[in-house]
């Protein structure tokens, strides 16, 4: 069985933004701004290999060669934390469609259950799955299963921070999914939180 492809964004600006998000003193308003900026960096990396086709263009002076995207795009945030990444992705790619998957975690088993799913047509599309914390991998794997049933051409998971346990689970259940993250941390604690991590992304994003 293959392993997922994991890309850790190696960029000084990404590193400074991860540090800011980790800092427990960062207030929600600043946390949201930094999360959006880092999501833009992750989205740029995740779209590096998007299929394109030749498409010429006329400049004010002459004709020039050009490229155009040659695939439909879909972004799917996992509610609620994934919403903190969505705005950056839609600003970068305003032509994409957006779906939503709502998952809640059982605090005893750490396994997710779905409470809401709304997906556009994504047959043959490239999908950006937005889940800022890849911890146990349960939510990402469940979401990837739901997406796979819609027959997309490609799925890339964008995460701010990932744990080895989550990467391993995706490798077992969905080795076809690529992962783009800003950091791979040490592991999980007994509550299945990423260590050192940055706490509960949703709580810090929304100030709850």
Q: Which residues form the catalytic set?
A: 105, 109, 200, 203
- Asked whether the beta carbons of 75 and 130 are under 8 A apart, the reply is yes
DSSP 144: H
For 137, list phi and psi in degrees, rounded to 5: 90, 0
- By the 10 Å C-beta count (0-12 exposed, 13-18 middle, 19+ buried), 128 is classed as buried
- Tell me the C-alpha to C-alpha distance, in Å, between residue 44 and each of 41, 79, 184: 5, 22, 19
Query: Which tokens in the block code for residue 155?
Result: 């799925």
Alpha-carbon distance 17 to 107, whole Å? 29
- Asked whether the beta carbons of 111 and 105 are under 8 A apart, the reply is yes
- Tell me the C-alpha to C-alpha distance, in Å, between residue 144 and each of 75, 130, 132, 173, 191: 12, 11, 15, 9, 23
- 105 forms beta bridges with 112
């Amino acid at each position: 069985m293959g392993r997922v492809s994991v890309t850790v964004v190696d960029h000084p600006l990404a590193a400074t933004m991860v540090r800011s998000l980790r800092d427990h003193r960062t207030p929600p308003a600043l946390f949201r701004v930094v999360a959006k900026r880092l999501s833009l960096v992750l989205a740029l990396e995740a779209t590096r290999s998007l299929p394109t086709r030749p498409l010429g263009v006329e400049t004010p002076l002459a004709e020039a060669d050009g490229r155009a995207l040659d695939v439909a795009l879909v972004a799917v945030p996992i509610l609620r934390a994934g919403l903190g990444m969505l705005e950056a992705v839609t600003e970068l790619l305003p032509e994409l469609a957006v779906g939503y998957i709502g998952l809640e975690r059982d605090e005893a088993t750490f396994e997710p259950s779905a409470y809401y799913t709304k997906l556009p047509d994504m047959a043959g599309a490239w999908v950006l799955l937005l889940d800022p914390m890849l911890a146990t991998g349960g939510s990402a794997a469940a979401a990837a299963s739901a997406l796979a049933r819609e027959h997309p051409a490609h799925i890339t998971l964008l995460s701010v921070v990932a744990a080895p346990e989550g990467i391993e689970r995706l490798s077992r259940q969905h080795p076809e999914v690529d992962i783009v993250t800003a950091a791979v941390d040490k592991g999980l604690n007994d509550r299945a939180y990423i260590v050192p991590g940055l706490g509960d992304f949703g709580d810090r994003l929304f100030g709850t």
